[in-house]
Amino acid sequence: MIKAGEYVLLYHSDRIKFLVSVQENGSFSTHRGNIDFRQITGKEYGDWVETQYGTRFYLLKPTLADLALKVKRTTTIVYPKDAGYMLLQTMIFPGARVIEVGSGSGALTAVLASFVRPHGRVYSYERRPEFSANAVDNIRRYKLDDVCEFFVADPVEQGFQQTDVDAVFLDVPEPWALVRAARQALKSGYPLAGLVPTFEQLRRFTSALSAEGFIRIRAREILERGYYLRETGIRPVDRMVAHTVFLVFAHKANIRNEQE
Amino acid sequence: MIKAGEYVLLYHSDRIKFLVSVQENGSFSTHRGNIDFRQITGKEYGDWVETQYGTRFYLLKPTLADLALKVKRTTTIVYPKDAGYMLLQTMIFPGARVIEVGSGSGALTAVLASFVRPHGRVYSYERRPEFSANAVDNIRRYKLDDVCEFFVADPVEQGFQQTDVDAVFLDVPEPWALVRAARQALKSGYPLAGLVPTFEQLRRFTSALSAEGFIRIRAREILERGYYLRETGIRPVDRMVAHTVFLVFAHKANIRNEQE
Amino acid sequence: MIKAGEYVLLYHSDRIKFLVSVQENGSFSTHRGNIDFRQITGKEYGDWVETQYGTRFYLLKPTLADLALKVKRTTTIVYPKDAGYMLLQTMIFPGARVIEVGSGSGALTAVLASFVRPHGRVYSYERRPEFSANAVDNIRRYKLDDVCEFFVADPVEQGFQQTDVDAVFLDVPEPWALVRAARQALKSGYPLAGLVPTFEQLRRFTSALSAEGFIRIRAREILERGYYLRETGIRPVDRMVAHTVFLVFAHKANIRNEQE
Amino acid sequence: MIKAGEYVLLYHSDRIKFLVSVQENGSFSTHRGNIDFRQITGKEYGDWVETQYGTRFYLLKPTLADLALKVKRTTTIVYPKDAGYMLLQTMIFPGARVIEVGSGSGALTAVLASFVRPHGRVYSYERRPEFSANAVDNIRRYKLDDVCEFFVADPVEQGFQQTDVDAVFLDVPEPWALVRAARQALKSGYPLAGLVPTFEQLRRFTSALSAEGFIRIRAREILERGYYLRETGIRPVDRMVAHTVFLVFAHKANIRNEQE
């Protein structure tokens, strides 16, 4: 039974759907009419409700991808296609302790928090206070704040407060400036991940990783292609998101002293 | 400190790397020479060892992608690009209870088990006993068997023994035959995922989902592009895995009675 | 020296550019101001002109891709990425005689006409008179009408008037209905090309080709990825045309009698 | 009727096919047995012949893509997907005069020659004599040498001997060194094309184009995806050529003097 405080995906179609936080009172407005929250509470997931104009919305359990894509955005967000791939190429597991820079809008934070629960920890750094505040807000609304700690700080200058973490995620314009600090925080033999949109960044970031004793340095790009499933025929969608970021992965090796 | 019983990725280069289960005694043979296990135990992750011919291997912590790609295979396996995406589009979280058909080689089982830990459950069905045995073996070696239950059964005829599960994964040639059973096992409003390689299967599977009261039926394809990071220049790799499967997602809705 | 009657590409940027037919008098209006045609005539290609608001437009020689993309459209058009690939997989050469169904907006007609010149022939069939009229108009304005013949006819019923052609192009919703007629018109051992957007069409079309004695039946998809070349960094464009059509190629073989 | 001196595609399947130059006498050997040339002469395209072991080969008219892919290679070749796209983005037409550097194995030369016929001209420069000799040989065997002129020269130092050409193609490792020479040879307002495999080359090449008064500078990548058309189902091929080159296009503008 759905209760106030839960998130529900109001689903009419792939184009008309809304992620809503159910309240005790009041209503949710759409261009297809309103849904009174008391229509929702007491119903089960999978049930449907209708607006006054007869538009039907199903009450679906939001997936993690729904939550990540619908955070209140102050920045570009990490896409599910990229977040999912990073989960498998780094050391994320229930109980993991991981660092993330920057917090951005909290989309990646939410994904990481969901999978380190209940005993893990996400340490999320962000130097712009207003971005951090928004990320904190998003994480709180998703009730993931029990495993997240936010820092308004610039780790380029101050480094990280944690050591022996299982993974480090760098989603900043100049990740090369953080490679040394990441190295100090990361467990030896464990992986780091970075996200950069341009080739110039890719070159500079991977060069820094190599210079700072990281090995197994790899760059990947994940593309997501949708398909129309129409009665008249199946075919790939006409237009797609063609590029988000290049994903970079590397493992910390104990070779730094030799090089110095 | 690395101990016997742990898995280590012996990494020389992206082409020369091995996932090994460290033993008390004996050695691991490569075409570049041998590594005595006593060279490994006592070392830290991130350290390196050398064969008698001087080839250096780093001792890296294997990622989940490494484990998934290196299961002992009796079938085609689920790729990290696909597994990672499915994690976010279905309800996988620490504590989740999920059904998987078929067990295959256990690659997807291992991914799911890693993320439902420590209190969740993966119910893995497989009708071919020899495949199930191999999957059980792989999961045991990865020490993930505490959260997995294997069933040698054909759920097309017998259905599933579980109800109210958070997610169902169908990785079989004829997933349409399992849609009704999946519906009975799945929580209302929650998502199911399927993997099919051809368009004919995609058509038949999505038609069955629609007929059985699933909504938000979507098909996606995930492509992974690698990049060469050479001193002489960055460029996409020459050849790539161009297709594995189409991923299908759908949510169970409470609309079946109306249709009947 | 540019003269009235020529086509010029007025180029300001990749987003602001216009294909214009230069006239003796009058002017061309843009949202950035007007260009008087007398500013253009007498100039050379590569020169530039300015609107009254100071927006500069370069006078570039339009490429065939520019012409094809800028036909006056009544239908979806064939993209340069697809047209260019088809040129190499079929028998198009100066002097070739080729059949096309349907004429559409004349985009593919223009490409084919350009390459069979000066002694070849494009026979373009279209059953909808208003589409044919528009295609005729486009081809005339591009001054390619000397090598084109248009037919308002439905070749499903009447077949083609030509025989021994070097290539046949089928760009219609039900190309399978034209396979037999195409076979009769085509030189033995020579290739046919078809364009279909969905998988159901692909299946039905290729089955018909196989049944009618075509061999070397192949399906291809051509994807075009653009790159931003910014000072701040090179990266793939954010959004792209993700699907136009599947291209089908097949060669006519002399095996039909055996099968009957 | 097929005669000695013609090229025929002996086609058994997409994997077993051969481009052969038919001779008066002798035979062609395959791992499936031999074909005596006298089996071929006198037959029609579309007919078939059999080896002594009963393997059937169809006699197909080779397409331009077949010729381009099957040149005797001394270098990497230009793929049909790229060559076809370039035809439409540059000024290639019957009668065009175009410059190409380097000749490579003559694959692109063959494509260009086929479409400038009968009155056009391909001026093909190559500084390595052995490569040029091989390209000359390939073009002669394809009987395209009537419209081609080969130069063993390094145009970086000597420039081009032609002026007012309709298009310039640069397929060399350092195309930036040829931009000035290309500019001198090219008609004003007309396009140039270049092919580079890495991002570093893309950056340097496009910067040089910009510095030398070229505008409308664009980078594109063309991807070709094949599909299996099996009875059991249609699906994308497992593995594909994932990258050949980035294609660069730019138009010569009359803005150079201003900048100097």
pLDDT in tens, D212-222: 999 999 999 99
Indicate if the pLDDT at residue C256 is higher than 60: no
Does residue A105 lie within any of the structural domains? yes
Average pLDDT over residues B87-105: 96
Domain edge (last residue) among B62, B77, B106: B62
Average pLDDT over residues D225-240: 95
Residue B245: closest CA among B64, B66, B85: B85
d(CA C235, CA C237): 6
pLDDT tens digit string along B139-168? 999 999 999 999 999 999 999 999 999 999
Give me the domain span that covers residue C74.
66-259
Q: Does D93 touch chain A (CB under 8 A)?
A: no
Q: Is C28 exposed, middle or buried (0-12, 13-18, 19+ CB in 10 A)?
A: buried
Which residue of chain D has the CA closest to B226? D242
Cβ–Cβ under 8 Å, residues A252 and A213? yes
Cβ–Cβ under 8 Å, residues C135 and C109? yes
Peptide bond into C102 cis (omega under 30): yes
- State the best of D196, D199, D222 to mutate against chain A, taking most chain A CBs within 10 Å: D199
d(CA A77, CA B223): 20
Average pLDDT over residues A195-222: 97
Indicate if the pLDDT at residue C173 is higher than 60: yes
Q: How far is D220 from chain B, CA to nearest CA, in Å? A: 13
Same domain, B107 and B207: yes
Tokens of A116: 């380190």
Q: Which of helix, strand or coil describes residue A258?
A: helix
Tell me what pLDDT residue A257 has.
47
**Which residue has tokens 């006078």?**
C59
Cβ–Cβ under 8 Å, residues C170 and C193? yes
Sign of the Cα pseudo-torsion (A14, A15, A16, A20, in order): positive
- State the best of B243, B244, B246, B247 to mutate against chain D, taking most chain D CBs within 10 Å: B243
Does residue D2 lie within any of the structural domains? no
Residue D256 — very low, low, confident or very high, per pLDDT cuts 50/70/90?
Answer: low
- State the best of A82, A196, A198, A231 to mutate against chain C, taking most chain C CBs within 10 Å: A198
Tell me what pLDDT residue C259 has.
43
Same domain, D28 and D94: no
Residue A33 sits in a domain whose CATH number is 3.10.330.20
pLDDT tens digit string along A132-168? 999 999 999 999 999 999 999 999 999 999 999 999 9
d(CA B173, CA B176): 9
Q: Give the CA distances from residue C132 to residues C104, C106, C128, C142, C150, in Å, rounded to whole numbers and listed in that order.
A: 7, 8, 6, 15, 7
Average pLDDT over residues B38-66: 96
- State the best of C70, C78, C85, C245 to mutate against chain D, taking most chain D CBs within 10 Å: C85
Average pLDDT over residues C46-53: 96
Domain edge (last residue) among C62, C82, C101: C62
Residue D212: closest CA among D176, D180, D177: D180
Q: Does C220 touch chain A (CB under 8 A)?
A: no
Q: How far is D233 from chain A, CA to nearest CA, in Å? A: 14
ipTM: 0.95
If you count residue pairs, one on C and one on D, with CB atoms under 8 Å apart, how many are there? Answer: 216
Tell me what pLDDT residue A260 has.
39
Same domain, D164 and D204: yes
Tell me what pLDDT residue B74 has.
84
Question: What percentage of chain C reaches a pLDDT higher than 90?
Answer: 93
* Chain D: partners with 3+ C-beta pairs within 8 Å: A, B, C
Tell me what pLDDT residue B64 has.
94
Same domain, A183 and A227: yes
Does residue C1 lie within any of the structural domains? no
Residue B91 sits in a domain whose CATH number is 3.40.50.150
Average pLDDT over residues D156-170: 96
How many domains in chain D? 2
* Chain A: partners with 3+ C-beta pairs within 8 Å: B, C, D
DSSP A106-156: SHHHHHHHHHHTTT-EEEEEESSHHHHHHHHHHHHHTT-GGGEEEEES-HH
Does residue A221 lie within any of the structural domains? yes
When CB atoms are compared, the residue of D201, D226, D241 closest to B239 is D241
Q: Which of helix, strand or coil describes residue D164?
A: coil
Please, which contacts does A176-183 make with residues 24 or more away whose CB atoms are closer than 8 Å? A176/A204, A176/A205, A176/A207, A176/A208, A178/A101, A179/A205, A179/A208, A179/A209, A179/A211, A179/A212, A179/A214, A180/A212, A181/A155, A181/A156, A182/A99, A183/A212, A183/A213, A183/A214, A183/A252, A183/A256
Count CB-CB contacts under 10 A for residue B14: 10
What's chain C's length in residues? 260
Q: Are strands B97-101 and B167-170 parallel, antiparallel or unpaired?
A: parallel
Q: How far is A244 from chain D, CA to nearest CA, in Å? A: 17
Cβ–Cβ gap B202/A227 under 8 Å: yes
The alpha carbon of A71 is separated from its chain's Cα centroid by a whole number of angstroms, namely 9
Which residue of chain A has the CA closest to C244? A238
Residues 109-138 of A with CB under 8 A from B: 111, 114-115, 117-118
Tell me what pLDDT residue D216 has.
97
Average pLDDT over residues D128-145: 96
Tell me what pLDDT residue B256 has.
54
Same domain, D44 and D70: no
d(CA C210, CA C219): 13
Residues of chain A neighbouring D200 (CB-CB closer than 8 A):
203
Same domain, D123 and D237: yes
Same domain, D205 and D179: yes
Indicate if the pLDDT at residue C258 is higher than 80: no
Which residue of chain A has the CA closest to C241? A239
Average pLDDT over residues D118-139: 96
Same domain, B153 and B221: yes
Q: Does D199 touch chain A (CB under 8 A)?
A: yes
Residue D143: closest CA among D106, D170, D169, D168: D106
Same domain, D118 and D242: yes
Same domain, A200 and A78: yes
pTM of the predicted structure, to 2 decimals: 0.96
Average pLDDT over residues C202-228: 97
* Chain B: partners with 3+ C-beta pairs within 8 Å: A, C, D
**Which residue has tokens 């045991």?**
B140
Q: Which of helix, strand or coil describes residue C111?
A: helix
pLDDT tens digit string along C10-24? 999 999 999 999 999
Average pLDDT over residues C218-245: 96
Cβ–Cβ gap C189/D58 under 8 Å: yes
Which bin fits C42, alpha (ψ -120 to 50), beta or left (φ > 0)?
left
Cβ–Cβ gap C64/D88 under 8 Å: yes
